[in-house]
Amino acid sequence: VITVMLRTIWIATFADLIFVMTEGGPAGSTATVPVYIYVSAFKSLDKGYASAVAVLLLVLLIVYAIALIGIRRSLVRHV
């Protein structure tokens, strides 16, 4: 459970490598949410929208982490 949470957070911060290597790939096939945020902020020059998407991603990651911690605690209690 901890590994899944850490991998998810790591992938969420993985935008720089994906953008440098593929710039989203053919037809956006390798685009992730962090790459989308970067493109919105610096290529489309829409920093307000990119900030809103980044805050939404942060909230989703926090909810995901809390859910995984809850699952982990319930598994530990039953063992």
pLDDT tens per residue, range 23-73: 766 776 777 888 888 889 988 899 999 999 999 999 998 998 899 888 888
Taking each continuous run of H as one helix and of E as one strand, the counts in the chain are: 4, 0
Task: Please give the Cα distance from 51 to 11 (Å, whole number).
Answer: 18
Residue 78: is its pLDDT beyond 70? no
Distances (CA, A) of 70 to 5, 12, 26, 31: 12, 21, 39, 30
Sorting pLDDT into bands at 50, 70 and 90, what band is 1?
Answer: low
Q: Supply the pLDDT for residue 52.
A: 97
